Structure 1
Amino acid sequence: MTGAVHRTWAWMRVGVLALLWGSTFLWIELALDALTPVQVTISRCALGSAALLIACLGSGRRLPRDARTWGHLLVAAFFCNALPFAMFSIGQQTIDSGVAGVLNATTPLWSVLIGVLSHSERGLRPVRLGGLLLGFTGVVMIFAPWQMTGPVGWGAFAIVVGAASYAVGFAYIGHNLVGRGIPTISLSTAQLIAATGLTALTLPAGGLTPIEISPKTLIAVVILGVVATGATFHLTYRIIAAEGATNAATVGYLLPVVSVALGAIVLDEGLSPRIVAGMVVVLVGVGLTRRAERPPSVPALAEAPAAQVPSRT
């Protein structure tokens, strides 16, 4: 395969993943028409884990067996799946899907901040520091605490908590689940199974409400679980395996564009000048923190050993 063809396929894969990730917020919005946040969360975890379990067993792979790995997976499942999935569903009750997608893109900002606080960042460069401050300034512009009170304000806060939760989970996974010789499909499947178990514990908090679901909502829930959760969760690994972390990170820049576009086109969501300006500031800030970052060394993600880099929605 020539270099040009390889690059074309690489960008096509990145584009597909960005479309799938970015559409997550649309499917959540549609699912919330008939389901409670708890029901949306457990549905996407259960359907995603079922889809991956079929793929895992079909490929002849097995789930991890040792208790230590499952212990780490439970922690990862909480911070990378159960908590952020719940926060997005709660937040999107009052926040448009496009804005939710942009606030989700702040995860790299939280990752940098966690690195600084944990002293894992070696000498935060001025450009990255500027990007960090600029990015959070954009969040404040979108959040607008001087305007957004009550349900809307709490909705924006929930989305930000979900984005920060991803950053915590990534840091934990980097220390405890990377390069352990476990196939990527096994890790991703096991983590979503663990997330399903965790979210099942929240069923008494709105998960037992009677459901009257329309065909449109049912389709949205299935796509959210099987495609936007299960498929993207594993597709992320494959892109990193083929193109490395740099191309995978590019999805983070495209995701908000997709979520905003789908929200405006499909759901007719309006955007005020303040929110648009905040979105631009957030993306510029994220870009500065990523651009000044030295490319990390990424091990090959063959079937074994494998690195665990979870999905971000």
Structure 2
Amino acid sequence: MRGGVRLAVLALLWGSTFLWIELALRGLSPLQVTFVRCLLGALVLTVACYASGRRLPRGRTVWRHIVVAAFFCNALPFALFSLGQQTVDSGLAGVLNATTPLWSIALGLALGSEHGLRPVRLTGLLLGFAGTILILAPWQSAGATGWGALAILGAAASYAVAFTYMGRTLVRRGTPTISLSAAQLVAASGLTAVALPVGGLESIDPGPVVVVAALVLSVFCTAITFHLTYRIINDEGATNAAVVGYLLPVVSVLLGAVVLGEGLSARVVLGMAVVLVGVGMTRRKDPTATAPARTGEAQAQAQAQEEEEAQESHASPRSKTRIPQ
């Protein structure tokens, strides 16, 4: 139940991201939007980290992993979304981002972590994909999406890479998720700042709508959402974290229609219903599982992590130690 609530909150916040990006782009460039959401998000999580008695991680090993994760999970996809939404509606952006679970499954199969994917869950993933296709209706909008759509698809694929990488290298190593999420946004802020001279030095138009959109995007849709994502990866595995992408079309399309006046047809409503059914199927637990607190993927990742740490420390199974964080 707790995981389901986190998933629902994450979907609502994450799904509204595309609306706030659309509004923030009215006065900021794509790279400026990316930098602001990373910087303010990092500030919020860093304050929350130290207020809770935690601190940022230490050690070169963990920070190398954090920088790689920050690139694929924050700096790159945030920039691609802002670039893509210059020509793509917010609702359509949410639909295209819903391909993240498919990229995640493909990576899982390639890396061997999804070799035991159950038929019901696989059917749910395919059904969710069918729902997103029904919403997108490429047979009706061929040629209309262009490079913006490709940029958003690239962002979705980048998320899948990041979720898998974070699940294998950062979570379940003893470092609190609030510390990891804060550190990752700090790293993403640095990476984005380096790119600002390329396209982030244009004049800005900080009107009230732009300022509010930037604040909501940074605090709620970046800081809080990113921390919830880390918690889901930590508790349920990378693929389950990516499954939330199937709920994004429902939120993004509805908000786009209500707030921005974007189109909403019977076909789109039907597609969203199919998406929800698919998500329900992917969230089903295996009744034969002996450790309900962890998915099979999580167990495999934990075992692989322990073997890797044992090799790195050249220790026997009885005397191996954790890599310093």
TM-score interval, smaller chain: 0.7 to 0.9
Is 1:219–2:218 an aligned residue pair?
no
In structure 2, the residue matched to 1:120 is 113
Aligned pairs (5 A) from 1:77-226: 77-137=70-130, 148=141, 152-226=145-219
Deviation at 1:190, TM superposition (A): 0.3
The alignment partner of 1:95 has SS state of coil
In the alignment, is the contact (CA less than 8 A) between 1:143 and 1:153 conserved in 2?
no
Aligned pairs (5 A) from 1:20-59: 20-59=13-52
Inter-CA distance 207–171: structure 2 relative to 1 (3 Å threshold): same
In structure 2, the residue matched to 1:68 is 61
The alignment partner of 1:203 has SS state of helix
In the alignment, is the contact (CA less than 8 A) between 1:106 and 1:282 conserved in 2?
no
Taking the aligned partners of 1:154 and 1:58, their CA distance within structure 2 comes to 43
**Structure 1 portions without partners, runs of 5+:** 1-6, 300-313
Inter-CA distance 154–174: structure 2 relative to 1 (3 Å threshold): same
Deviation at 1:70, TM superposition (A): 0.4
Deviation at 1:277, TM superposition (A): 5.7
In structure 2, the residue matched to 1:245 is 236
Deviation at 1:171, TM superposition (A): 0.9
Is 1:296–2:303 an aligned residue pair?
no
Inter-CA distance 103–285: structure 2 relative to 1 (3 Å threshold): farther
Inter-CA distance 13–168: structure 2 relative to 1 (3 Å threshold): closer
Residues 88-131 of structure 1: CA distance to partner in whole angstroms, max 9, x if unpaired?
Answer: 11111121112212222222221111111222222444445545
Deviates more, 1:177-186 or 1:126-135: 126-135
The alignment partner of 1:181 has SS state of coil
Deviation at 1:152, TM superposition (A): 2.2
Taking the aligned partners of 1:157 and 1:240, their CA distance within structure 2 comes to 26
Deviates more, 1:245-254 or 1:67-76: 245-254
Inter-CA distance 151–68: structure 2 relative to 1 (3 Å threshold): farther
Inter-CA distance 292–113: structure 2 relative to 1 (3 Å threshold): farther
The alignment partner of 1:57 has SS state of helix
The structure number with the bigger radius of gyration is 2
Alpha-carbon RMSD: 3.2
In the alignment, is the contact (CA less than 8 A) between 2:100 and 2:243 conserved in 1?
no
Taking the aligned partners of 2:190 and 2:102, their CA distance within structure 1 comes to 29
Deviation at 1:230, TM superposition (A): 0.9
Residues 21-41 of structure 1: CA distance to partner in whole angstroms, max 9, x if unpaired?
Answer: 221111101001111111111
The alignment partner of 2:53 has SS state of coil
Taking the aligned partners of 2:252 and 2:142, their CA distance within structure 1 comes to 24
Residue identity (%): 64
Deviation at 1:226, TM superposition (A): 1.6
Taking the aligned partners of 2:247 and 2:24, their CA distance within structure 1 comes to 23
TM-score normalized by the length of structure 1? 0.79
The alignment of Structure 1 onto Structure 2 pairs a total of residues equal to 290
TM-score normalized by the length of structure 2? 0.76
Higher relative contact order (CA 8 A, sep 6+): 1
Deviates more, 1:163-172 or 1:287-296: 287-296
Deviation at 1:71, TM superposition (A): 0.2
**Structure 2 portions without partners, runs of 5+:** 300-325
Deviation at 1:87, TM superposition (A): 1.4
Inter-CA distance 113–131: structure 2 relative to 1 (3 Å threshold): farther
Inter-CA distance 222–28: structure 2 relative to 1 (3 Å threshold): same
Taking the aligned partners of 1:142 and 1:75, their CA distance within structure 2 comes to 33
- Give the residue type in structure 1 aligned to 2:25: L
Taking the aligned partners of 1:265 and 1:96, their CA distance within structure 2 comes to 13
Deviation at 1:193, TM superposition (A): 0.5
Inter-CA distance 78–193: structure 2 relative to 1 (3 Å threshold): same
Taking the aligned partners of 2:166 and 2:229, their CA distance within structure 1 comes to 15
For residue 250 of structure 2, the aligned residue among 235, 240, 257 is 257
Taking the aligned partners of 2:111 and 2:3, their CA distance within structure 1 comes to 34
In the alignment, is the contact (CA less than 8 A) between 2:250 and 2:272 conserved in 1?
no
Inter-CA distance 252–95: structure 2 relative to 1 (3 Å threshold): same
Inter-CA distance 53–292: structure 2 relative to 1 (3 Å threshold): closer
